[in-house]
Amino acid sequence: MRALSSIALVLSALRGVVACPVSGNPAIDSFVESETQVSRHKLLCNIGSDGCEAAGVSPGVVIASPSKSDPDYWYTWTRDSALVFKTVIEQFASGDYDASLQKKIQEYIVSQAKLQGVDNPSGGLVDGSGLGEAKFHVDLTQFTGAWGRPQHDGPPLRAIAMSQYAKWLIDNGYPKTAQEIVWPVIRNDLYYTAHYWNNTGFDLWEEVNGASFFTSITQYRALVEGSALAARLQTTCTACDEIAPHVLCLVQNYWSNSGYVVSNIHNNAGRAGKDGNSILGSIHSFDPRLGCDATTFQPCSDKALSNHKAVTDSFRSWPINNGIPQGTAVAVGRYIEDVYYNGNPWYLLTLAAAEQLYDAIAVWKAQGSVTVTSTSLGFFKDLVPSITAGTYQNGTTTYDSVLDAVFTYADGYLNVVKTYMHTDGSMPEQFSKNDGTPMAARDLTWSYSAFLTAAAARSNARSPQFGWLASPPQLPNTCAASTADGAYVSATAVSFPASQTPGGTETITASVPEPTSTTCLHKVNFSVLRTTVWGDSVKVVGSIKELGSWNTANARPLLADAYTESNPLWRGSISVPAGASFQYKFIKVSDNGAVTWESDPNRSYSASSECGSTGNAGGNWQ
């Protein structure tokens, strides 16, 4: 045990914490132990088909929450599911071999391969656009209601999660399975990311259509991991190699000289920009090999620490946080201007604030020093008031007091969660900013996932498991808005070989070339003016496969996102083969499934044969 400096002793005493450097509060130790059991159990309850809260849910599919009303979260979100399975895979890979967990992971991958092929209001797989759809029904059918779409973070997060399993397969003797079954699913998501990263889309809170820090940094991480994984699988991801530096360039644009990340750019929805979005971005792109690199906003970087202070301080005005001094943990929400359920702290964000600090400690330990810069000075001064900018080596009292104070600060966030969760350890989405009462969607799967990753980070902060291999990435000289096209291929993963216990003997014999794009597409903007009532949807059906081959069950839904009483517009873009000629009609489908066809004649359309061309189709309902 390290000697404590007097400053740390005073601070610890003020917080009423037993003085024990970087070993934490024993009450938090036992809380972490018991809540880990609860979180593991509750998280698995929310996964189909045999989860205790997941009756009727397809195998491997994660429900956001069992809540079916106020709010209705009985859907599967690509983002939430990926974050949850990233946690499941990390638990699987770091614990004793667990066949039942492996089965869930395999079912998840198979379910996502299938989901990639489900046509939906964002589009289809043919041009990748359908991968940007945020949520589906729990039986993997499309959700056609109004929604914030597309959302670009789902595919990269899913690629990251599946890459963790692909790495496990490689490390345990199953590289062929990784190459043939898992990689084709990952590759579609990577191509989507390289293709659409520079388009605007909705943020992770599904409210702002613009560019979001969490999304961009996640895209960067997925592409970098994609290149590395491709190499291990004796293949390539050219789009990943090409586009990753451009995404990293964009990531820099979110930094404000006021010392924090502006989480939404292009459209900031009138907010200051301090948002838990950025803390999540930092912890989910944590890579200890990058040390405290600030270009990738690593948890211990000066920018990420300054941002941690700015974001958490922004919630100190809430009644629940009243009188809590800076540098002591508070309840953390999305952003202070939040009006959803009147704006409250979220468990997963309070846990993320802890996780960032544990991640930082692990790296400081691995590198044997802490650096304080003018950017991060404010963060450190809250904890060690006498500190000045400089580098403090391990073995010095300042290094010890910093690590001790940061660990205590992080444990404080867990203590906030412990204080305001249900007594049985269950966590919904939010707790009241006034009195801490748990509220909103019960048993939010992401809350449990966030607890498990924070607990893992805490244990890692005590004994870091990684070596020290810093190699920060290089930024290009100029940022470019270039994108790359890849060939989307329907992944045929239908099942995994039986009993893939550690110690497999598979080998990969030959390198696999990337698929080449043979699809030459034309995008049709369909629009029709049709007055409808609540529950109705308007779709397009026609003579080609992309339009359901005249089968109304496979008709493509249009969106009412610009619908008004005076201009009852239904619209949507659908990619068809360039040069295709086809007939089509609009149909109205009512709540009970009854179909109303437009009257004759059939409409017809001839697509330009130029690849990437667009055109318009439709008009008044006939």
Range 470-499, binding ligand NAG (CB under 6 A):
479, 481
Angle at 47 between CA 42 and CA 51, to 5 degrees: 65
Q: What count of residues does the chain have? A: 622
Radius of gyration of the chain (CA): 25
Both tokens of 255, joined, read 């930094």
- Active-site residue, from 35, 107, 119, 203: 203
Angle at 123 between CA 243 and CA 109, to 5 degrees: 70
Nearer to ligand NAG by Cβ, of 302 and 598: the residue is 598
Nearer to ligand NAG by Cβ, of 169 and 372: the residue is 372
255 annotated among ligand-binding-site residues: no
Contact flag: residue 616 with ligand NAG (CB under 6 A):
yes
Residue 609 phi, psi (nearest 5): -90, 5
Q: In what order do the strands lie in the sheet with 521-529?
A: 569-577, 521-529, 613-620
- Active-site residue, from 206, 207, 241, 561: 206
In the complex, the smallest distance separating the C-beta of residue 123 from ligand NAG, rounded to whole angstroms, is 11
Contact flag: residue 30 with ligand NAG (CB under 6 A):
no
Distance separating alpha carbons of residues 57 and 76, to the nearest angstrom: 9
Among 49, 200, 552, 596, binds ligand NAG (CB under 6 A): 200
Region near ligand NAG per CB under 6 A, out of 81-89, 426-434, 493-501, 609-617: 609-617
Region near ligand NAG per CB under 6 A, out of 14-22, 298-306, 375-383, 599-607: 599-607
Binding to ligand NAG by CB under 6 A, coded x per residue (else -) over 206-245, reads -----x----------------------------------
**Residues 411-448: b if buried by 16+ CB within 10 A, e if exposed:** bbbbbbbbebbeeebbbbbbbbbeebebebbbbbbbbb
- Report which of 43, 94, 32 is spatially closest to residue 446, judged by C-alpha positions: 43
Range 548-567, binding ligand NAG (CB under 6 A):
550
DSSP state of 284: H
Among 325, 476, 502, 615, binds ligand NAG (CB under 6 A): 615
Among 142, 396, 517, 573, binds ligand NAG (CB under 6 A): 573
Any bridge partners for residue 256, and if so which? 260
Distance separating alpha carbons of residues 43 and 285, to the nearest angstrom: 22
Among 465, 602, 604, 606, binds ligand NAG (CB under 6 A): 602
Among 61, 249, 261, 547, binds ligand NAG (CB under 6 A): 249
Region near ligand NAG per CB under 6 A, out of 330-338, 418-426, 552-560, 612-620: 612-620
Range 137-196, binding ligand NAG (CB under 6 A):
none
Contact flag: residue 252 with ligand NAG (CB under 6 A):
no
Residue 574's H or E segment, with its range, is strand 569-577
Instruction: Kindly determine how many residues on this chain lie close enough to bind ligand NAG according to the rule CB under 6 A.
Output: 23
**SS3 category, 619:** strand
In the complex, the smallest distance separating the C-beta of residue 401 from ligand NAG, rounded to whole angstroms, is 15
Both tokens of 496, joined, read 């995994």
In the complex, the smallest distance separating the C-beta of residue 541 from ligand NAG, rounded to whole angstroms, is 10
Contact flag: residue 250 with ligand NAG (CB under 6 A):
yes
- Report which of 569, 567, 566, 549 is spatially closest to residue 558, judged by C-alpha positions: 569
DSSP state of 550: G
DSSP state of 180: I
Q: Where are the alpha helices (DSSP H) in 285-436?
A: 302-313, 347-367, 377-383, 397-420
Region near ligand NAG per CB under 6 A, out of 16-24, 341-349, 378-386, 613-621: 613-621
CB atoms < 10 A from the CB of 520, how many?
13
Region near ligand NAG per CB under 6 A, out of 36-44, 129-137, 344-352, 611-619: 611-619
**SS3 category, 45:** helix
Range 265-304, binding ligand NAG (CB under 6 A):
266
Nearer to ligand NAG by Cβ, of 319 and 395: the residue is 395
CA distances from 596 to 179, 413, 584, 593 (A): 47, 56, 14, 10
Select the residue whose beta carbon is closest to ligand NAG and give its number: 368
Region near ligand NAG per CB under 6 A, out of 417-425, 436-444, 446-454, 594-602: 594-602
Whether residue 428 is preceded by a cis peptide bond, meaning omega within 30 degrees of 0, is no
CB atoms < 10 A from the CB of 293, how many?
19
In the complex, the smallest distance separating the C-beta of residue 76 from ligand NAG, rounded to whole angstroms, is 26
Nearer to ligand NAG by Cβ, of 185 and 403: the residue is 403
In the complex, the smallest distance separating the C-beta of residue 478 from ligand NAG, rounded to whole angstroms, is 9
375-381: Cβ within 8 A, 24+ apart? 375/259, 375/294, 375/302, 375/303, 375/306, 376/302, 376/303, 376/305, 376/306, 378/259, 378/306, 378/309, 379/305, 379/306, 379/308, 379/309, 380/305
Instruction: Answer yes or no: 225 catalytic.
Output: no
Contact flag: residue 606 with ligand NAG (CB under 6 A):
no
Range 507-526, binding ligand NAG (CB under 6 A):
525
Range 354-393, binding ligand NAG (CB under 6 A):
366, 368
Nearer to ligand NAG by Cβ, of 164 and 367: the residue is 367
Distance separating alpha carbons of residues 17 and 24, to the nearest angstrom: 8
Strand-pair category, 201-202 with 537-542: unpaired
Both tokens of 207, joined, read 């409210």
In the complex, the smallest distance separating the C-beta of residue 393 from ligand NAG, rounded to whole angstroms, is 7
Both tokens of 61, joined, read 């599919």
Region near ligand NAG per CB under 6 A, out of 93-101, 349-357, 557-565, 595-603: 595-603
Instruction: Answer yes or no: 203 catalytic.
Output: yes
Among 120, 198, 212, 321, binds ligand NAG (CB under 6 A): 198
In which residue are the tokens 């018991």 written? 34
- Catalogue the active-site residues: 203, 206
Contact residues for ligand NAG (CB under 6 A)? 198, 200, 211, 249-250, 266, 366, 368, 394-395, 479, 481, 525, 543, 550, 573, 583, 600-602, 614-616
Question: Residues comprising the binding site for substrate?
Answer: 147
